[in-house]
């Protein structure tokens, strides 16, 4: 699926996140209790739309080395999921709040670790002016949105966890492995844009 910016806007405006089933980690119902939000940064590059990801540093206590969207736990003073996502993106990659145009949100994604994550879709016009926090972010990279929306580019894998086999999605792009909750949110984005 190849979308330009006008078509992306049209499709996001046409559907509510509640119109389709939420895909979550296998075996996870709506059990998340800790509110969190991530920003799905869509970059309007001249050659087409891309999505920005972060590679987390290896020394972090949780999810070290993994690919993720900028984001994190909601703070008591956060006014909305959008505010949380933008605040966290500013802290992690130095993205100025005023550079992001909010396009919408995906349904909450409930994780096995107890989080209710609200993915917020934000548009950024180049040039990118980022200053990643070296304590949290090892690198920042972009993947074409068309690659992420092509079902041929996602795989379904399983692993053993607490004595049972659980399934998850994986995208591999130029040496980066996008999996788990981040990949699940991308599947939801595809469902919303179909």
113-140 pLDDT, tens digit each: 788 899 999 999 999 989 999 888 989 9
Is the peptide bond preceding residue 70 cis, with omega within 30 degrees of 0? Answer: no
pLDDT digits over 168-179, tens only? 899 999 999 998
User: What percent of the chain has a predicted confidence (pLDDT) above 90?
Assistant: 60
pLDDT digits over 33-89, tens only? 799 999 999 999 999 999 999 998 765 555 545 899 999 999 999 999 999 999 999
CA distances (Å), origin 171, targets 40, 159, 177 = 16, 16, 6
Amino acid 43: pLDDT = 97
What are the residue boundaries of the structural domains of the chain, listed by start? 5-193
**Average pLDDT of the segment spanning 134-158:** 92
Architecture per CATH, domain 5-193, reads as: Alpha-Beta Complex (3.90)
Place of tokens 């309007």: 44
pTM of the model: 0.90
Rounded Cα distance between 164 and 93, Å, is 36
Report whether 36 contacts 72 (CB < 8 A): yes
């Amino acid at each position: 699926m190849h979308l330009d910016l006008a078509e992306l806007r049209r499709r996001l405006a046409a559907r509510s996140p509640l119109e389709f089933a939420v895909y979550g980690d296998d075996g996870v119902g709506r059990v998340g209790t800790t509110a969190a939000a991530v920003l799905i940064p869509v970059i309007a590059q001249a050659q087409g739309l891309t999505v920005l990801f972060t590679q987390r540093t290896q020394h972090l206590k949780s999810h070290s080395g993994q690919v993720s969207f900028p984001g994190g736990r909601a703070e008591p003073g956060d006014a909305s999921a959008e505010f949380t996502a933008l605040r966290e993106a500013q802290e992690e990659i130095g993205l100025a709040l005023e550079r992001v145009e909010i396009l919408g949100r995906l349904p909450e994604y409930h994780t096995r670790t107890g989080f209710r994550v609200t993915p917020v879709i934000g548009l950024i016009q180049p040039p990118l002016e980022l200053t990643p926090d070296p304590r949290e972010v090892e690198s920042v990279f972009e993947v074409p949105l068309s690659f992420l929306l092509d079902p041929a580019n996602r795989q379904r894998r399983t692993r053993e966890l607490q004595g049972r086999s659980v399934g998850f999605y994986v995208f591999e792009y130029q040496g980066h492995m996008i999996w788990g909750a981040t990949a699940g949110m991308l599947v939801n984005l595809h469902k919303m844009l179909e």
